[in-house]
Structure formats: C-alpha cells, structure tokens
C-alpha cells in the first residue's frame, strides 16, 4: 500500500495540480447539487476527474500538450462565396467610378463645345423692299411721283407695314454735307431718304452709321428732279473722292466700284464690317427704272 505523501514532499507542480484537482472537485459537487435540485441540466457528460497520482505518474499525450484539436472548417464553400461576392462588389465599384469619370469628361467636352461655338450672325430684319429714290420720270403722265409700280405686288402689304425708323438725335458726328469733286457735287445731307427728305438734298438712310464709323453709310439723291444732285454718278471712276463732312471734321472715301441694279437689290444697303459709303440714285436719266449704286471706302 502506497504511503500518503505530505505537503512538504510534493513539488511545486504537484501542488499546483492538487489545487486544480480540489477546485475541480468542488465545482463537480456544486454541479451535482444543481442537477439534483433541477436547477441544471447537463447536456454532455463532464470529463472524469484525473487523480493526482495519474497526473503525476502518466506522461501527457500529444493532444493534452497542444490542447483540443480544431475541427475542420465546414463552411469553406460559404467563405468562397463571400469572397466571390466581395470581388464582384469591388469590380462593380471600379466600373461605376470609371463610368462616372467618362461621363464627367463627356459633359466637360459638351460644355466647352457650347462655350466655343461661333457667334451666329442674325439674319437682318426686312427694312426695305426696294432701294430708295424711286420715282416716275418728270416727263411721264402725271409728272414725277413715288413709283409704287416697282414694288412687287405680293410685297406691297409688307412695304406698308414696315415701321419708320426713329430719326436719330442730332449730334456733331452726323453727316451734314457731301462733296464729290469729280462731278461737282456739293450738297447738304439730311436724315432720312423718303420722298420729302430727298427734296431738301442728299438723304442718309436712318439707322446707318455716322461718317468715319465702321459700317455702310447709305446716301440717296435724285438724278433728274429736285436739283439733279446725283445726275452724273455714272461718270465716277475708281479712285475718285467722296468727302463727307460732320460738324467736327471731314472724311474722305475713295470710289471702289459702280454697278447698275434692279430696284429690289436691297442687299447693297446691308451693314458691312468696314467703313464704306453707298451712293444710290435712279437710272438711267429720265427713265428711272433701275438704280445706279456707287461704293466708296474710307481712306485711312
């Protein structure tokens, strides 16, 4: 029979194991008490306590040295599925970001193209149907009077509905006189080119610029009535001078060309980007079924 060993004979490791054994025994008794009183239901049998002598005498197995062996992972397929979902989510996010960058780039290009669009030149509103100065010859039955027959019949209602441009406020920059030395013209310039205005001199079309300014100054006068101011326009040659006076100074224009046109060629009065003057009169003399148009450019 083995002799019981005293506490002095035990090593530190044996004392530690003894203490563990006592704590385990107390816990086991407490569990047994709870189980008998119905306060505890055991699901699995607790491992039996290992006697101190067995712990001291038996070498530890590999499973006791390393602890309980982990069970194989039974959810590896779920992990793979979650990994695949994460990869797809990252790819989707990258696609959304790339698509967003592309959309922003395209929008920026559209904005730049809208900003850099060329300035459109508006179509000029209709301000005339025929060129100014038209009249019947003075030797015609009834004498000289405005020639409404040269207005196309389908455009006569439009002609009557055209508003009269406002007369500009008098200023020192307005044309007041015209001289054309080559044909001995020296006449006053009045604002407006209607029938009554052309009785007083050379009429400047309302809305055209002042002398020296950029644009097309349109001046009209008769060739066979009211002083026959523009009777000899057809004698002008390129290089001849047309001098316009304001109350400040004189401006010299150089004749560029002369053309004979139909009364409906109103485009000769269109605005221009360069400073020019356009002289208009009826033609030929005492017939007056066409217009003579002389264009001169400002001399720099």
101 vs 214, residue with greater confidence: 214
135 vs 119, residue with greater confidence: 135
CATH 2.40.260.10 in the chain is located at 173-298
Q: How much is the pLDDT for 57?
A: 52
Q: How confident is the model over 152-202, as pLDDT tens digits?
A: 888 878 777 777 778 888 999 999 999 999 999 999 999 999 999 999 999
158 token code pair? 């439009």
Task: Indicate whether 71 pLDDT > 60.
Answer: no
Q: Say if CB 275 and CB 203 are below 8 A apart.
A: no
Question: C-alpha angle with apex 279: 268 to 139, nearest 5 degrees?
Answer: 105
Please give the CATH number for the structural domain made up of 173-298.
Answer: 2.40.260.10
Which residue shows structure tokens 């027959």? 149
Task: Indicate whether 65 pLDDT > 50.
Answer: no
Q: How much is the pLDDT for 123?
A: 44
Give the C-alpha separation, 205 to 165, whole Å: 9
How large a percentage of the chain has pLDDT more than 70? 80
Q: Say if CB 298 and CB 275 are below 8 A apart.
A: yes
Which residue shows structure tokens 């209709």? 126
**CB-based burial label for 257 (10 Å; 0-12, 13-18, 19+):** exposed
31 token code pair? 């569990």
The model's confidence at residue 73, banded by pLDDT at 50, 70 and 90, is low
Q: How much is the pLDDT for 151?
A: 85
For the entire predicted model, the pTM comes to 0.59
Q: Say if CB 180 and CB 240 are below 8 A apart.
A: yes
């Amino acid at each position: 029979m083995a002799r019981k060993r005293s506490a002095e004979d035990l090593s530190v490791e044996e004392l530690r194991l003894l203490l563990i054994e006592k704590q385990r025994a107390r816990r086991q008794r407490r569990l047994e008490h709870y189980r008998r009183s119905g306060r505890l239901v055991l699901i699995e049998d607790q491992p039996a306590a290992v006697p101190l002598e067995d712990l001291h005498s038996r070498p530890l197995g590999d499973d006791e040295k390393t602890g309980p062996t982990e069970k194989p992972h039974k959810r590896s397929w779920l992990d793979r599925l979650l990994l695949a979902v994460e990869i797809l989510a990252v790819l989707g996010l990258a696609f959304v970001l790339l698509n967003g960058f592309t959309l922003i780039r395209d929008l920026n290009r559209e904005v730049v193209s809208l900003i850099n669009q060329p300035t459109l030149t508006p179509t000029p509103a209709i301000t005339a149907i025929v060129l100014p100065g038209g009249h019947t010859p003075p030797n015609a039955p009834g004498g000289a009077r405005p020639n409404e027959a040269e207005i196309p019949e389908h455009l006569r209602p439009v002609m009557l509905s055209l508003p009269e441009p406002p007369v500009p406020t008098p200023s020192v920059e307005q044309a007041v006189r015209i001289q054309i030395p080559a044909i001995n013209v020296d006449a006053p310039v009045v604002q407006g080119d209607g029938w009554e205005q052309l009785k007083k001199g050379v009429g400047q079309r309302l809305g055209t610029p002042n002398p020296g300014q950029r644009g097309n100054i349109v001046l009209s006068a008769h060739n066979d009535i009211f002083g026959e101011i523009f009777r000899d326009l057809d004698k002008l040659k390129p290089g001849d001078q047309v001098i316009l006076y304001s109350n400040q100074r004189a401006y010299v224009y150089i004749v560029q060309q002369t053309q004979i046109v139909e009364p409906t060629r109103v485009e000769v009065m269109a605005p221009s980007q360069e400073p020019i003057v356009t002289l208009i009169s009826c033609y030929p003399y005492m017939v007056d079924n066409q217009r003579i148009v002389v264009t001169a450019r400002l001399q720099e």
